[in-house]
Structure 1
């Protein structure tokens, strides 16, 4: 099958943006799963009347809290659990294997593709991120197992888009922006005195969008057009879990950067990404996107919320 120039541009855009959409769902539902799992061990009958808060002397019990959580998030959380189990069952039936290397590649592409202006999100437990990515890969492999993509197509796409697979070192970064050098120095003193970076970002940072997330600006890397070069330069001098000294931003304000995590740059060869590209090109041939729910009937799936 021959692809036109426009087809390649469309697929390239999809390869860049699809991981971002995946990670958004990972972050939203994954954090909910972790939060509810954290509450369950203490949520038995013996602790149902435990007081978790009070207002004007009137207590709020753990049971009330759990009921409110179930009503607000229960359906989405259960859906995530069911779909994860459905995909594991599908992997067993169709003899699909997912390697750690495949998951590593997808997560590296997420870091490379993420646009911090659109995806300022809270950090996520790595194990849960990998679990969600595994389920997505199982789904994609099941859907594309019978789709034919010629090696020539894969090679051509790789040669035209090789830059996608030369992934720079990325820094998971938080930022506090202050109006003046004196404010930055004062904030620095509070950090050195033991204050939380997250709390200070919420209280002091004048960058509203990141302040609301405890300063989190996502993954950044050198050459990223939508990030002040001074921020990347400051982050690149840090080790994981270190913060920088105050530095001047291009607009005259001052910043302090915290490196949550650092992912060293990687270059993936054609052999490394061949299966990934084949799968993505195969997905482009499907008439519509498919979710794990399409397999519920096949695996006799029932759940609390009914149809």
Structure 2
């Protein structure tokens, strides 16, 4: 009897196990189906992510299409070579820094930025501060590589500083952009559009008659009270402006009119000999080189190749 009772109990236990197994099997089936669907979705790219066809129309004139391929070809012809050259040279200089264990600190870049603002504020027009700093970094690496074995006496450094103290006494600089137009009415219209939210950059490109700055969104770089390459009326107005502010109409000496935007104000500072000693040493060392050297001179050293060949 005891044996029989055990035989009768076994089907009931098996049934309970089956009941408990069903939810688990259902869960496994759901997870399997989800994984299959995910895998299929991963294999089939989203339509929005498909690369644009070169024949895609990006504009048209009188029904005549301008294709993406035409657009990209024109941009490459205009700025492609210079942009790629800058990228390659930047990579080459970083490789040189690693090869020769050369370090460039943020403080060194800060000094160069300050000196550029003081001496030639238009050197990096059209560049934001980060791109400007990156170009300065690459240039510093190049200079350090070229001068690493050149000896410059301390007396020469001291003498240079004493003779050029004014270069290291830097005035407050104003990052400035302008829109120049022929008439006062045009200038007032531009001011009105700016007050309603129009982009200064866009208006400069569309309206400004100063072609050199118009292509850069009006940017004329850093100016200060001693800047003499810019209309004095622009300088006088700009040095009284606050960061991220736009002027009213300004009459220029040649009879045209301008609107001025100051995006940044960098306070002046004075650098002592210890602050600029390495900079002066590098400048004097560069003067001893027989000729100027560009980053391209190092391309073979670091196996640099590019689309345009030699």
Do both proteins adopt the same fold according to a TM-score greater than 0.5, normalized to the shorter chain?
A: yes
Aligned equivalent of 1:220, options 217, 223, 227: 223
Does the aligned pair in 1 maintain the 2:126–2:216 contact within 8 Å? no
Partner SS, residue 298 of structure 1: helix
More deviation, 200-209/86-95: 200-209
Instruction: Point out where structure 2 has 5 or more consecutive residues left out of the alignment.
Output: 1-47
- The reply to whether residue 114 of structure 1 matches residue 120 of structure 2 is yes
- What is the correspondence of 1:26-41 to structure 2 with a 5 Å cutoff? none
The 1:67–1:136 alpha-carbon spacing in structure 2 relative to 1, beyond 3 Å, is same
1:306 aligns with 2:305: no
Aligned residue for 2:82?
76
Deviation at 1:192, TM superposition (A): 1.6
Report if aligned partners of 2:200, 2:217 keep a CA contact under 8 Å in 1. yes
* Alignment equivalent of 1:189, drawn from 192, 196, 199: 192
SS of equivalent residue, structure 1 residue 277: helix
The equivalent residue for 1:293 is: 296
Cα offsets for 1:151-188 (capped at 9, x unmatched): 11001000110111111111121234466666554443
1:105 to 107, 111, 114: 111
Q: 1:129 to 1:283 in 2, by over 3 A?
A: same
Q: Paired residue for 2:91, among 72, 85, 95?
A: 85
In the alignment, which residue of structure 2 is the partner of 1:165?
168
In the alignment of these two chains, the number of paired residues is: 263
Q: Distance in 2 between matches of 1:301 and 1:179?
A: 48
How far apart are residue 228 of structure 1 and its match? 4.2
Q: Which runs of 5+ in 1 are unaligned?
A: 1-41
Report what 1:58 is aligned to: 64
* Displacement of 1:283: 0.5
Question: 2:275 corresponds to which residue?
Answer: 272
**In 2: Cα distance, 1:273 partner to 1:145 partner:** 17
Q: Deviations over 1:190-212 (max 9, x none)?
A: 32233333454456556565556
- Which of 1 and 2 has higher RCO (CA within 8 Å, sep 6+)? 1
Displacement after TM superposition at 1:288 (Å): 0.8
Task: Note closer, same or farther for the CA distance 1:187–1:297 as it changes in structure 2 (3 Å cut).
Answer: closer
Q: Which deviates more, 138-147 or 73-82?
A: 73-82
Q: Distance in 2 between matches of 1:252 and 1:71?
A: 37
Residues 4-15 of structure 1 aligned to structure 2 (within 5 Å) = none
- Give 1:96's aligned residue: 102
Q: Report if aligned partners of 1:144, 1:282 keep a CA contact under 8 Å in 2.
A: yes
How much does 1:127 deviate?
A: 1.9
**Alpha-carbon distance in structure 2 between the residues aligned to 1:215 and 1:142:** 36
- Note the aligned Cα RMSD (angstroms): 3.0
Judge which range, 172-181 or 142-151, deviates more.
172-181
Q: 1:184 to 1:162 in 2, by over 3 A?
A: same
Distance in 1 between the 2:197 and 2:88 partners? 42
For the Cα contact (< 8 Å) 1:43–1:62, is it kept in 2?
A: no
Show CA shifts across 1:64-110 (max 9, x none). 33234334544333332222111111111111000011111112222
Structure 1 residues 205 and 266 mapped into 2: Cα distance closer, same or farther (>3 Å)?
same
CA distance in 1, matches of 2:77, 2:219: 29
Deviation at 1:234, TM superposition (A): 2.1
